[in-house]
Amino acid sequence: MIDLHCHYLPAIDDGSPSMADSLELARAAVADGITHAAMTPHIHSGRYDNTRTSVEAVTVQFRKALKEANIPLQIFPAGEVRLSADIIDLLDQDEMPFLGTYDGFRVVLLEFPYAQIPLGTEKLVRWLLANQVRPLIAHPERNKAVMQNVERIAPYVSMGCMMQVTAASLVGGFGPAVQECAELMLDRGWISLVASDAHNMEHRNSRLTEAYEWLVARGGELLAENYTNILPSRILGLDAGS
């Protein structure tokens, strides 16, 4: 499987605190059936001041460590970009870390605040789309506004945004309210892909195989493949199954 959202890079955000922890997370990812992973540390001005350039540098270091440790995980630099006006500067300065491309658009993993969808979000998203950037919205099922009314995310689906649901959300790892929201999104056909959003081994590890099996039971193997292999592979520019 291909994981387009995880926090394995060492000491760069609220994910892995050290290279040893990063390698442990990578081993667990491989054991969970993951072959390729996009490194998506938080890009959040004033809190996690990461940029495309800095993430690429740490990814190179981690790739070397994976090779030395004989861990067969292929990794790619990207980022989880927090919704803010700083996005405009990131794009202008060529410091926005993209996941890849999809139908001629560059794809960015875009994180909304957990408690709400702020005023002006639609305007900023339309600006991104006008600049050939397609948001892949991170874990919308865990946004409180969307949990209260799943239709709050509908305008972004209509605009052409993609939706990334967390594997643990589907299998109850964030509680019944989040799971119900994820199921509603699935029923409406709004989910684009599923990713781990893994942060640590204790409470936020990869549950992608568990989610894959849940998806097979709910909608069949092709659905599970689309969410965990086919579309992620296309975004990264890989051949499906590579």
Q: What is the pLDDT of residues 13-49, one digit of tens each?
A: 999 999 999 999 999 999 999 999 999 999 998 888 9
Q: If pLDDT is split at 50, 70 and 90, which confidence band does 90 have?
A: very high
Residue type, 45: S
Instruction: Judge residue 219's burial from the number of C-beta atoms within 10 Å of its C-beta, 0-12 exposed, 13-18 middle, 19 or more buried.
Output: middle
Residue 242 has pLDDT above 90, yes or no: no
**DSSP assignment string, 6-23:** E--STTSSSS-SSHHHHH
Cα(179)–Cα(184) distance, integer angstroms: 9
Question: Pairing relation of β-strands 105-111 and 100-102?
Answer: antiparallel
Say what the pLDDT of residue 239 is: 66
The secondary structure of the chain in percent helix, strand, coil, rounded to multiples of 5, reads 45, 20, 35
Residue pLDDT, tens place only, 185-212: 999 999 999 999 999 888 888 999 999 9
Residue 137 has pLDDT above 50, yes or no: yes
Say what the pLDDT of residue 205 is: 87
| Whether the Cβ atoms of residue 139 and residue 165 lie closer than 8 Å to each other | yes
How far CA 169 is from CA of 128, 138, 228, in Å, comes to 27, 12, 14
- With tokens 């989910």, the residue in question is 191
- With tokens 């893994």, the residue in question is 198
Write out the H or E segment, with its range, that includes residue 135.
Answer: strand 133-138
Q: If pLDDT is split at 50, 70 and 90, which confidence band does 156 have?
A: very high
Instruction: Judge residue 63's burial from the number of C-beta atoms within 10 Å of its C-beta, 0-12 exposed, 13-18 middle, 19 or more buried.
Output: middle
Say what the pLDDT of residue 152 is: 97
Average pLDDT estimate for 168-187:
97
Say what the pLDDT of residue 211 is: 97
Average pLDDT estimate for 133-148:
98
Residue 240 has pLDDT above 50, yes or no: no
Tokens standing for 186? 């699935």
Mean per-residue pLDDT over the chain, rounded: 95
Residue type, 222: L
Alpha helices in 17-142 (DSSP H): 19-31, 52-68, 86-92, 121-130
Q: What is this structure's pTM?
A: 0.95
How far CA 38 is from CA of 74, 150, 164, in Å, comes to 9, 27, 13
- Percent of the chain, pLDDT > 90? 93
